[in-house]
Structure formats: structure tokens, C-alpha cells
Amino acid sequence: MTANPLREKAERLRALHAGPRILVLCNVWDAASARIVEEVGFPALATTSAGIANSLGYADGQRISRTEMAEAVARITRAVAVPVTADMEAGYGPTPESAAETARAAIAAGAVGMNLEDALEERNFIDINLQCDRVRAAREAGEQAGVPLVINARTDVYLAGIGSPAEQFAEAIRRANAYREAGADCLFLPGATDAAVIARLVREVNGPINILAGPPTPPVGELERMGVRRVSMGSGPMRATMALMQRIARELAESGAYTSFTRGAISYAEANRLFSGRDVEP
Amino acid sequence: MTANPLREKAERLRALHAGPRILVLCNVWDAASARIVEEVGFPALATTSAGIANSLGYADGQRISRTEMAEAVARITRAVAVPVTADMEAGYGPTPESAAETARAAIAAGAVGMNLEDALEERNFIDINLQCDRVRAAREAGEQAGVPLVINARTDVYLAGIGSPAEQFAEAIRRANAYREAGADCLFLPGATDAAVIARLVREVNGPINILAGPPTPPVGELERMGVRRVSMGSGPMRATMALMQRIARELAESGAYTSFTRGAISYAEANRLFSGRDVEP
């Protein structure tokens, strides 16, 4: 009997949420960014839905199809050996079956983890009980495929910013703990950036939490000391490279110099070496 | 009778080779880099085969298939309104028919210009008469499709570096002028970086020439004054962004700070604005 090779990768990714070290995810959007982050030594990779959408010509927010997103994830998983968790937005549909279908697509693309959001568009939240059914459906789809998919259940409560800080906190806890009860492995709370709030979330969420990094967020070491188990960068790295491209194009247009794209660039040989011998890998 | 909308774009791209201003191409590899360069105000875009290959998980040099390359080009042309010229390497095959098939694939992908190289691998040059047949075949395929494809015939003589400088110059001129005679619109001589050599190429090539920019190459304004009609950046901008991703990942791994990916990054809203209303565009 041949074991599904993704099973071991899923367990490896799950174990990285058990502490004491925090899991740091430097989100990637294509095979090049994925290989670079892998080579720096990160033990797992996460995709950014916004970065993938932009690279393929879409705005973020499920404007891309499930199929096109899964194809992008597959190009990334084919390029690397480490476990990959895929940002599959809100699962490309409102039902438990759409969440299950998205879990199957993520696994078929070679991912062993998946984000599942609880708002279809900004501030359009999915009923908490329905979202729990969706978490269960995604988990069961993984089990049926022989892959214990690591589910990162995201609540958009802090991004939506509805109500007072106390109301937001209460709703975030209510949703996170319900998703945990339904089988989520990790609870993702983007928009929670204040150290005191994060410390309370660590105490009151009954499972590992994922914080989104950004200028106002405590640095990685501080999050780790607070007990946060996972920190991700979202589309930040992709947007930084887009800004560099803007500076390169502006320099060319304005002064005709080549400094911005040659200073510190990796060589042509080094770029290609990242992909040597990778043509035929599954 | 409806004119092929690509016909006008092809003529617009061709006219940009007529001087007196030099055509500056800040090469792109995905829809995001394409939209950024378009927004900065460039009148045309060129793709980089190495950048596209790396972003999809391949080393450069025709390891990617013609189909996958054309799909990447199509994602770029769908995202922008300006004319796009596609780096289609050596045409994915050694025959005139393979060059014609590649021209048809480029046009089907929405491109109105195409690079065609004369070496299948490094230093494995295609016979000059066969390459002339291939240039003619690509041009005829465009005419049959109703698109006067702008053919940028590339000779790898300077990249290969075989023989003395005088021999390289003679062979470069011989090939460039033969390709021009066969119908090429522009002659691309990557590896020619010395100002004196470039000045002689301008005088002795019977058509517009394309120089590849890099640290040793004269800046855009100087190339323009010398009579160079087109300058492109190759995979330089993509490799600069790969290097930024490396710095971002290293900073996260080493210090846990977020400076490299937040300083100067474009906002999430700005990134998505680049693609607003572009979902259904052909």
C-alpha cells in the first residue's frame, strides 16, 4: 500500500503550529517567489490570494476562479519540496459543498493546508453555523482524499471593523472558537495588530492563532513570546516587489538609468539555477 | 468588414521603431508587472522569456512549452491596452513551420510583436539561410492572420562570444542584415554593450537595432543619440524583484522585522485598483 505523499507533508505542516517556535510564513505568489523563500530556509510556504490574483490580472476577492487559483497553487507546489498552504479565499462559493470542492482542488494542486474565510465580500459575513459546516466539509474532503488538510479558519471580524473594540473582540472569539470546535487547526485573525488585543486573543482562543504582519504589528519575536503560533505576511511581499517595478519603470522613463533593476539583482545564472532539474518533478 | 484590432496595434508598435525617439521596453513577466509599466506611461510592453519561465517554475531556454509561454503572454495582453511584443525565444522548434506556429500562437495570445532567436541552445546556431526562412515564415504567418507582426530578429553572436571581436562584429552584421533582408523589422543584438561597437552596429546594420541594457550598457539617452532605435531590459527587472524577495525573506528569518516588505510598498487598494474593471476584457 502506497501512502499519499501529501499526508506526511500535512502532518509536518500541522506540527509547525504546535510551538514553542512561531511558524513564519513569507507569502508567495509564483514559482520564483516560492523557490526563493524555500532557499532562504523556511520550513513551509503559504500563498497570497491577492498576490496570485494580481499576478494573473485580477483584483483580489474571488474575482479569479477556483480553477485558475488552483492552477497557480499547483505551479508553486511543483517548484518546491516544503509543505504549502494555499489561500483559497472564502472557498469560491457560499455552501459547505463549495468549501469541500475547494479543499479537493487545493489537495489536487499539491497543497496540504488551506485558508477558509468567513466573509464572501467585505462585511458580508457567512452565518457562524454555516461557516462551521463549511470548516467540517473542508476537513472531511481532506480525510476522504487521504490528506489531513491543515485548515486555517479566518475570521474577517477585525478587517470589517464593525462595532466597538469590545464587540469586535467578543465576535472574534465567538467565531474563532466555533471554527476550532468544528475542526479548524489554526484561527486566522487579520486586522488584529495591537499587542494587548493579540495577547488576549492568545488567551481566549482555544487553539493556535495566526496574526497578519504589517507596520503596526509587533515583530516576529514578540509575537512568539506572546504565544502566537503563526504569522503571515499576506500580499505585503508581492506589493513590495510591485513597488520596486514601479521605481524601475519610473527611473527608466525619467532618467534612462539602469540602477534600480541592476543594483543588488540576482544574476541570470542564479535565477535559472533555482529551477535546474525541476522540469519533471511532480 | 471588421478590421482585426491587432492590426492597428502592430502598426503602432512598428511606428515606435522609426525614431527619432528610442523605444524603451521595461520587460514584464506577469499581469502585475505589465499593468505597473503601462501605468508609468510606456507606449508598448515587451515580455521576458526568462522572467516568465522563472515565474512559472522553469529555467530559461525553451524548457517551457510554446503553449505555456503563449498562455502567459495572453494573461499579459488581457491586462493592458498598449501593444505587447512577446519574447518567444527561438520559436520552440528548428524549422520555418515551428517559427510560423509560434507566430500564430503569439498573435492568438494578443501579441503584435515577437522576438525570434537564431541559436537553439547556447552556441548552437541555426544556419543563416534557414533562419532567414524562419523569419519569412513568421512574417507570412502574421500576414495570413491579418496582423503585420513586428519581428525582432535576435542574433546571439555577441552572447556566444565565439572568435575575435572583429569576427564577432562581421558575423553579427552578416546575420542581422540577412534577417533584415528576409523581413525582420528590428535586429536585436544582446551582448553588444560597448559604445563604440554599438555605434558601428547602428551604421552597418540596414535597419533599426535593439540593444539589451545592463550595467555596462550606455544609458538610454546616449543610446538614443547614437541612433539605437530600441532598448530592452531582458530579465533584469524580474531578477531585481526576485532579489528583493530574497532580502524580505532573509530579514524575516534573521531579525523578524517587517521593514523590507512594508517600506515603500504600494497599498492593497492601489494594487487592486490596477485591475479594477478588467475581469471581462478580451
pLDDT, tens only, B161-195: 999 999 999 999 999 999 999 999 999 999 999 99
**What is the model's pLDDT at position A242?**
98
| Cβ neighbours of A266 in B, within 8 Å | 239, 242-243, 246
Query: Of B31, B36, B274, which is closest to A56 when you measure between CB atoms?
Result: B31
Element containing residue A116 per DSSP (H, E)? strand A113-117
**What is the model's pLDDT at position B281?**
37
Q: Which of A99-108, A139-148, B117-126, B222-231 is predicted least confidently?
A: B117-126
**What is the model's pLDDT at position A105?**
98
**What is the model's pLDDT at position B120?**
87
**Model confidence at B124: pLDDT above 70:** yes
CA-based nearest distance A234→chain B, Å: 10
Model confidence pTM above 0.90: yes
Q: B268: exposed, middle or buried (C-beta count within 10 Å: 0-12, 13-18, 19+)?
A: middle
Task: Look up residue B118 and give its three cell numbers.
Answer: 537564431
Chain A contact for B236, CB < 8 A?
yes
**What is the model's pLDDT at position A214?**
94
Sign of the alpha-carbon dihedral angle for A85, A90, A92, A98? positive
Element containing residue B151 per DSSP (H, E)? strand B150-154
The domains of chain A are located at 7-235
Report residues of chain A scoring pLDDT below 70: 1-3, 277-282
**What is the model's pLDDT at position A53?**
97
Q: Which CATH class is domain B7-235?
A: alpha beta
Query: Of B26, B59, B271, which is closest to A252 when you measure between CB atoms?
Result: B26
Chain B contact for A215, CB < 8 A?
yes
Element containing residue A45 per DSSP (H, E)? strand A45-46
Contacting B residues, span 91-120, partner chain A, CB-CB under 8 Å: none
Chain B contact for A42, CB < 8 A?
yes
Contact A252 B56 (CB under 8 A): no
Dihedral angle, C-alpha A210, A213, A216, A220, nearest 10 °: 80
**CA separation, residue A161 to residues A156, A202, A209 (Å):** 9, 19, 19
**What is the model's pLDDT at position B1?**
47
Mean pLDDT for all residues in chain B: 95
Task: Search chain B and give the residue with CA nearest A273.
Answer: B59
CA-based nearest distance A233→chain B, Å: 9
CA-based nearest distance A167→chain B, Å: 26
B193-210 pLDDT, tens digit each: 999 999 999 999 999 999
